[in-house]
């Protein structure tokens, strides 16, 4: 079974998807980490972030892989390097290119193959796995999302962080529509445990159907 979890930054996707995968014994695929890894490599190799064709070549020649919790690209373990504000601020510029998205989509489908997986991103329920058996779209109010992000990026001021989130939402908007058959869950006032349990119930109901 494929469980697709989409939603904006700070909606709780990663924590929930990881927890759910552990509970269900499913594989966990973080597609945002893939765009982040490609962005890291493009900065490293000084590829222009507007240069769609060069970025697509870079993505094609350097497939991203996951080893447990670690993220690899081009022979480097980039797990920690992709989580800073430096990547947050430019990743949308890389992710917006259709040629890049096509390569990522194919790689994401490959990673989804072979049975049970929880896959998180922006377009999993709509584009990558439209046939996913369970689709969830997580939302949360912007103050709560900024507060959560602040806990992960203590080095950034609260105001700058709120601005970063707002700009990223605007830039990611084209890629981020809930699937018509997705269940929207507002996580603002819920604990991670609450959200995981709620999705687990959807998975159980689907398994029974």
5, 59, 103, 121: which one binds ligand DC (CB under 6 A): 121
Asked if residue 28 binds ligand DC (CB under 6 A), the reply is: no
CB of 92 to ligand DC, least distance (A): 5
Identified binder of ligand DC from the candidate list 2, 71, 95, 112, rule CB under 6 A = 95
Q: Which of 36, 107, 135, 149 binds ligand DC (CB under 6 A)?
A: 36
3-class secondary structure, 95: helix
- Can you tell me which of 102, 175, 178, 186 binds ligand DC, judged by CB under 6 A? 175
Q: For the chain, how many helices (H) and strands (E)?
A: 9, 8
Using CB under 6 A as the binding rule, whether residue 19 contacts ligand DC is answered as no
Q: How far is CA 89 from CA 16, 54, 97, 185, 203, in A?
A: 23, 20, 16, 26, 34
Rounded to a whole number of angstroms, the minimum distance from the CB of residue 115 to ligand DC is: 20
Q: Please state, in angstroms and rounded to a whole number, the distance separating the CA atoms of residues 122 and 182.
A: 12
83 in Cβ contact with 157 (< 8 Å): no
- Decide: 91 and 34 in contact? Cβ < 8 Å: no
In the complex, which residues of this chain contact ligand DC (CB under 6 A)? Answer: 9, 31-32, 35-36, 91-92, 95, 121-124, 168, 172, 175
């Amino acid at each position: 079974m494929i469980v697709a979890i989409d939603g904006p930054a700070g909606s709780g996707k990663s924590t929930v998807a990881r927890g759910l995968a552990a509970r269900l014994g499913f594989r966990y695929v973080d597609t945002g980490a893939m765009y982040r890894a490609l962005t890291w490599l493009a900065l490293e190799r000084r590829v222009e972030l507007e240069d769609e064709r060069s970025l697509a070549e870079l993505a094609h020649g350097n497939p991203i892989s996951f080893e447990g919790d670690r993220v690899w690209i081009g022979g480097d373990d980039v797990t920690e390097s992709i989580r800073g504000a430096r990547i947050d601020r430019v990743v949308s510029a890389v992710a917006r290119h259709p040629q890049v998205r096509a390569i990522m989509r194919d790689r994401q489908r490959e990673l989804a193959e072979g049975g049970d997986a929880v896959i998180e991103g922006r377009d999993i329920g709509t584009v990558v796995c439209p046939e996913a058996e369970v689709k969830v779209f997580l939302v949360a109010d912007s103050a709560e999302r900024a507060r959560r992000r602040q806990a992960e990026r203590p080095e950034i001021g609260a105001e700058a962080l709120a601005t970063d989130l707002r700009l990223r939402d605007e830039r990611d908007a084209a890629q981020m529509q809930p699937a018509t058959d997705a269940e929207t869950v507002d996580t603002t006032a819920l604990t991670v445990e609450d959200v995981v349990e709620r999705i687990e119930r959807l998975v159980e109901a689907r398994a029974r159907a």
